[in-house]
Amino acid sequence: MYPVEFTSNSEMKLNDTKAEDILKPKLDALTAGKPIFQPVDPIQFVSTGPVQGRIKSDGYVYGYTNDPQAGGTKITPWRTSDNGMDINGTGIAFLSPDGTMGYEFKPAEIDAEIPEKVKNFAWSIRKTGGDSSVTVSLGSGNKPMASAPVPPIYPLGSPYTIDEDEIYKHEGVKTLGTLLGDGGLLTKLNLGDTPLHEVLLRIERGENESGLNAEYRVNYRFLYNLNGNKRFEVDQIKHGVNRIRLRNVLKKGTDEFLDALKVNLVAWTNFEVLSAVPVLAIKIDERHKIDIEKPRVEKRSSERENWYLRVKNGRFKRRIRLPYYEPEERVPQLYLSNPELVAYRPQSAGDSVEVVLDYSIPEYENQEFTNLPTIVVEKEYPVVLNEQMIQVQFRPIVLASEEGVSYLEVNASRINNNRRLRVSDVDAEKGIIYLHDRIRDQDEITVRYAYREDWYTYRGFYSSDNTEVIDVGSPVDLEVRYHADLHAEGIITEQTGGGSGTFTKALILTDNESEYTITGIFSQMYHLLLSKGLAVDQDKWTISKVANYKDYDLIIVAYMMNPVPAECVAGIRSFIAAGGSAIITAEHSGLTDWNANFLSIVSQDFPDLTLVPDAIVTTSGTFNTSHPLAQGCTSFTMQAASYYRISGSRIQPVAYSNGLPVVAAYENDKQRIVFMTDCNAMDDERGFQNPGNRRMIENILSWTSSPVYNDTKETKDAYVSNKFTTTIPSKETAFDQRIKVASIALYTDFGNEMKQFIDKYKAATKLTLTPMAAIEGATLVIVKSEFLYQSDGKAIGQREASFNDVIDIYVTVTVPVVMKDQNKLLRFFHMDFNPTPGHSFTLGKNSFHRWVPVNEKVEEYAIIEAPGSELLVRQINVYLKPTGIWLATETSTDLIAGTLKTASIYHTDEDYWFNPKDGMFDSTMLRLGRVFVQANSDIYKDMVILDTRSRGGGLDEQLSREIIARVNKESLHHWDIGYFDGEAYQENGVMIIHLPRKLLETFTESQIQASIAKHKAYGLLPIIEYHDEDDSLEVTEI
């Protein structure tokens, strides 16, 4: 310790070195560096004299003194427990309706009068009882806090799908169905005898023809209506789902709903024409559930046995909608994997075709059952629990056959002595056998037994491949159906209006505050109006004056801090509708009442103007110099403003701040409406101090209206439809062929009426032609469709069309290989998950690509066996394919021919098949699980590397490599200091120099190396190779 002078009784740091670091040199000297204590052992501080000390959590030594000579007071620990001031309380953790945990505490805040002499006091909290899953802590303001996990939710009901419906924005909140009553959704959920107070219903968004509703554009809620009082159930944030707990709408202590209660399932959207497909609740029937579990292998033979997954036998059905696709689009993978469904695909985007997928495990019944579902294990080494209890690997145990013959037999063998052990009891479900006879030391126990097998042991799948004979050169017929549409639009423009005008009588509307009047901060604006010859009146939102609004041609809404009467709002809207001009002010985000008044006046008649509340400080804004109101204006001033968001061209921005519109104007012949976002733009203290503000007001009062142009528009539509046929010779492999299908002239090929329309408007500048073209279908797979202008090769839509344009239509099709014969081969993809040596699994290989393909052949591959160790870097997806597909109609479900299968379980290491956003997604492939094989130990945590080598002797480390090479070059390759396999080159910056060997006749190798070192860049390693190729080269100097 170093000397410390205590000037008070406060605690001080006694040393800048941690206690552990102070002691270490002394302990090393005493123990010759051998550890004598563990790092977790505490270091004790021994106080001497008047100084008391301790070692804090930061490891440093602190001390204090109670000696009066230090000039302080005596420090004594003070605790509430020693003074009878502990506070005891209780708390409750409960589940809130929104699915989150809520907490109540008594008392809600820890508070007590602590004596003034106690310094640096802080409360601590601890839990003395209650549920172990709840943790408590102390938050800010000495308020108790708690944390508890949300109780699990178990699926109960059966799924029910609402019919697809159209949701429109203008409909508002739309009812999709009722929950209670006869025929309500609750009766369709098949809840059985489940107590209603324990039931939670959940809405899940489904799919529509456009795919997953990823953006949640349709909102769903449960809407309560009790005696006219309506409220929504709380929305769930996670995943966007919505829930309802029935206990919230039941009579207390019963399963009866509240009297006169109505609960509706409703939906709404802020977007146009979306489909609502909610799903209510989910039921998992354990008897029909298909599940997957890890391999069952005895520990004593885990390295020898194959690790095969087990799949639980079951069956369930799943309903999906078949996807629609345009002829020029890629065919969805669902139809490629299940070609039997092509004939049932929707014929238009509005069609809806549903099929029912039947999933089962037909492989289950193909196992070696003694009597279905019983399997006999002839010999197994069970787990010995104690001297009279053993446990078998498979369960539940079947005690006897249908004829009453027992399968169970336990034997003990010891050297050459075998004996049968008598059984006293069996726990069939747990697989435990209780023995009457005792197991002796060194007994080897075997058991013969039978068990009920509800699981299928999955070893792999068979992939069928076709071997076909090619008929080279055979013609392939191609028929392409196409159509084209042409929309023509002609416009004739006539000019009306225009001229100048002036205002004669103005009304300024303000509140009752004396400061905001024409004699207060608006006096300069008042005198400006007078100087322009206007008669000016002022009113403070008097309802009786509304009838006089029609007598004015300009109303200035200058101040409206308080709520404006509805009669005054209606009067201003009527004044504007009748053609009156106005200046209307909004305010910054802090004045919510003012902005609410502004919106009540403006929002309905000017929906293309949106007020965005903000607090922009505007002292030097910029003007839109092209606008008449900004003529002669430089900059303007506002105190704190919001800004506008403008859509369309009816309203134009006049002034900006930070690039955001803060002044905007609407002009219609002689009517002018000006919108400002701060009334201070017109006051004496700020706005009129800037000449730009004054000039803008002058421009409003003395204006010249722009001419009004009225357009007369006429449209015409026409279309053509046709088909193109040809033949294409086939080849040994499939290939893509680009073919010109047709040429369509816009001027002549769409009929006489369209030609006459074009003749009428083609001389004018406002003739707009919009061509569209599409391929309706083809007998071959279309890879690409092209619709190009003949004149420049640009695609339609890339530029404006001209009446003399001609459109060329091209298609690129895949010409298939023509086959004369076909043979089917079966190849087995083995799946053993054991990664130890001697085990393998099957892969497909195509060049460098090695993978586990799906059951459908997508590309060519050869079969190879890969060692099980490769599973450590692969993820295997185990999935089901339907064993039958049924067409669902309103009255029945009919089996689709060719869809019955005798196998359903497959595996692959490709993930994209299961991603709905991927082009290869197949909705009939139902993933059971993803399987990973990984080490059960960590090389860093579970492995200890002990270096038993003893160092000694050898070369002095201070000797350079040059000296060692000169004295004894072989020493450079000693195992502990050199390179056993030779000296390695650096990874980067290496250059190889080829030189003729003849140079060595003129120069030494050292001279050549020195010359190269002189010219090479620093850090580069040259490697010189000599060769005998060019003997004619003569070099005299390097």
DSSP-assigned states of every residue in 16-77: SS-HHHHHHHHHHHHHTT---S-TTSPPP----TTEEEEE-TTS-EEEEE--GGGSS-----
The neighbouring-strand residues paired with 423 are: 435
> What is the rounded CA–CA span in Å between residue 590 and residue 407?
85
Domain ranges in the chain are: 12-70, 81-147, 160-280, 295-367+455-467+821-945, 374-452, 475-494+711-815, 499-706, 985-1027
Cis peptide before 373 (omega within 30 of 0): yes
Residue whose tokens read 């009784």: 9
Q: Which of 228, 213, 96, 217 is nearest to 167 (CA)?
A: 217
Coil vs helix vs strand at 630: helix
Going by C-beta distance under 8 Å and a sequence separation of 6 or more, which residues neighbour residue 528? 694, 697, 698, 701
Does pLDDT of 370 surpass 70? no
Token pair for residue 617? Answer: 């400080």
In eight-state DSSP terms, residue 685 is T
One-letter amino acid at 712 equals: T
- 153-184 b/e (C-beta count within 10 Å ≥ 16 → b): eeebbbbbebeeeebeeeeeebebbebeeeee
User: pLDDT tens digits, residue range 541-578?
Assistant: 888 888 888 889 899 988 888 888 899 999 999 998 88
Locate all alpha helices (DSSP H) within 616-724, ordered by sequence: 691-701
Q: What is the 3-state secondary structure (H, E, C) of 941-1003?
A: CCCCCCCCCCCCCCCCCCCCHHHHHHHCHHHHHCCCCCCCCCCCCCCCCEEEEEEEHHHHHCC
> What is the rounded CA–CA span in Å between residue 199 and residue 537?
67
**Contact (Cβ atoms closer than 8 angstroms) between residue 443 and residue 415:** no
**Contact (Cβ atoms closer than 8 angstroms) between residue 840 and residue 830:** yes
pLDDT at position 726 is 92
pLDDT at position 759 is 84
Using CA atoms, how far residue 486 sits from 257, 265, 481, 483, 772, in Å, is 61, 45, 18, 10, 6
pLDDT at position 71 is 57
Percent of the chain with pLDDT over 90: 13
Does pLDDT of 482 surpass 70? yes
> Is the model more confident about 1020 or about 956?
1020
Using CA atoms, how far residue 685 sits from 210, 586, 589, 811, in Å, is 59, 18, 21, 72
Does pLDDT of 642 surpass 70? yes
- CA terminus-to-terminus distance, the chain: 70
pLDDT at position 217 is 66
Range of weakest confidence among 157-166, 392-401, 901-910 = 157-166
Coil vs helix vs strand at 143: coil
Does pLDDT of 852 surpass 60? yes
Choose from 2-6, 127-131, 265-269, 1022-1026 the range with maximum mean pLDDT: 1022-1026
User: pLDDT tens digits, residue range 973-1018?
Assistant: 665 555 556 666 777 888 989 888 888 888 888 889 889 988 888 8
> Is the model more confident about 825 or about 987?
987
The neighbouring-strand residues paired with 202 are: 243
> What is the rounded CA–CA span in Å between residue 792 and residue 617?
53
Inter-helix orientation angle 566-577/592-602, to 10°: 40
Confidence category of residue 858, pLDDT binned at 50, 70, 90: confident
Sign, CA dihedral 894-900-903-909, equals negative
> Is the model more confident about 208 or about 233?
233
Q: Which of 538, 546, 542 is nearest to 507 (CA)?
A: 538
Half-sphere exposure of 978 (CA within 13 A, CB side): 18
Q: State the pTM of this model.
A: 0.36
pLDDT at position 592 is 85
Does pLDDT of 497 surpass 60? no
Give φ, ψ of 951 to 5 degrees: -85, 150
Coil vs helix vs strand at 620: strand
Going by C-beta distance under 8 Å and a sequence separation of 6 or more, which residues neighbour residue 317? 356, 357, 358, 359
> What is the rounded CA–CA span in Å between residue 472 and residue 729?
8
> Is the model more confident about 96 or about 634?
634
User: pLDDT tens digits, residue range 672-726?
Assistant: 899 998 888 888 888 888 888 888 888 888 764 444 455 677 888 988 989 999 9
State the CB neighbour count (10 A cutoff) for residue 937.
9
pLDDT at position 389 is 93
One-letter amino acid at 1033 equals: L
What is the rounded radius of gyration, in angstroms, for the C-alpha atoms of the chain?
A: 44
Token pair for residue 50? Answer: 């008047």
Q: What is the 3-state secondary structure (H, E, C) of 842-895?
A: EEEEECCEEECCCCCCCCCCEEEEEEHHHHHHCEEEEEECCCEEEEECCCCEEE
pLDDT at position 355 is 92
User: pLDDT tens digits, residue range 99-124?
Assistant: 678 888 888 888 777 887 777 778 88
pLDDT (average), residues 969-976: 68
Does pLDDT of 31 surpass 90? no
pLDDT at position 282 is 40
**Contact (Cβ atoms closer than 8 angstroms) between residue 802 and residue 769:** yes
Residue whose tokens read 């945590």: 941
pLDDT at position 734 is 83
User: pLDDT tens digits, residue range 722-775?
Assistant: 999 999 988 878 889 999 999 999 888 998 888 888 888 876 557 888 999 988
Token pair for residue 951? Answer: 């160092």
Going by C-beta distance under 8 Å and a sequence separation of 6 or more, which residues neighbour residue 521? 515, 683, 684, 685
Q: Which long-range contacts (CB under 8 A, 24 or more apart) does 594-600 make?
A: 594/560, 594/561, 595/642, 596/563, 597/560, 597/563, 597/564, 597/569, 598/560, 600/564, 600/569
State the CB neighbour count (10 A cutoff) for residue 244.
23
Q: Angle at CA 774, nearest 5°, toward 770 and 780?
A: 165
| Region for residue 312 given its phi and psi (left: phi exceeds 0; alpha: psi -120 to 50; beta: otherwise) | beta
Token pair for residue 486? Answer: 């042409």
> What is the rounded CA–CA span in Å between residue 176 and residue 171?
12
One-letter amino acid at 81 equals: S
CATH class belonging to 374-452: mainly beta
Give the mean pLDDT of the chain: 80
**Contact (Cβ atoms closer than 8 angstroms) between residue 456 and residue 311:** yes
Residue whose tokens read 């002549």: 748
Using CA atoms, how far residue 844 sits from 555, 841, 860, in Å, is 82, 10, 9
E strand or H helix at 758: helix 752-761
Q: How far does Cα 593 stand from its chain's mean position? A: 39
One-letter amino acid at 999 equals: L
User: pLDDT tens digits, residue range 205-220?
Assistant: 665 544 444 445 677 7
pLDDT at position 738 is 92
State the CB neighbour count (10 A cutoff) for residue 522.
26
In eight-state DSSP terms, residue 1011 is H
Does pLDDT of 52 surpass 80? no
User: pLDDT tens digits, residue range 313-343?
Assistant: 888 888 899 999 888 888 898 888 888 888 8
User: pLDDT tens digits, residue range 289-321?
Assistant: 788 888 877 677 777 888 999 898 888 888 899
Does pLDDT of 823 surpass 60? no
pLDDT at position 825 is 58
> Is the model more confident about 497 or about 782?
782
> What is the rounded CA–CA span in Å between residue 55 and residue 61?
5
The neighbouring-strand residues paired with 13 are: 62
Domains 374-452 and 499-706 share a fold: no
> What is the rounded CA–CA span in Å between residue 374 and residue 450?
6
Pairing, β 389-391 against β 165-167? unpaired
Q: Which of 627, 646, 632 is nearest to 706 (CA)?
A: 627
Q: Does domain 499-706 have CATH number 3.30.70.3270?
A: no
Q: Which of 397, 401, 406 is nearest to 452 (CA)?
A: 397
User: pLDDT tens digits, residue range 571-618?
Assistant: 999 998 888 899 999 888 888 888 888 888 888 888 888 888 888 877
Does pLDDT of 261 surpass 90? no
Inter-helix orientation angle 691-701/523-531, to 10°: 40
Going by C-beta distance under 8 Å and a sequence separation of 6 or more, which residues neighbour residue 135? 127, 146, 147, 148
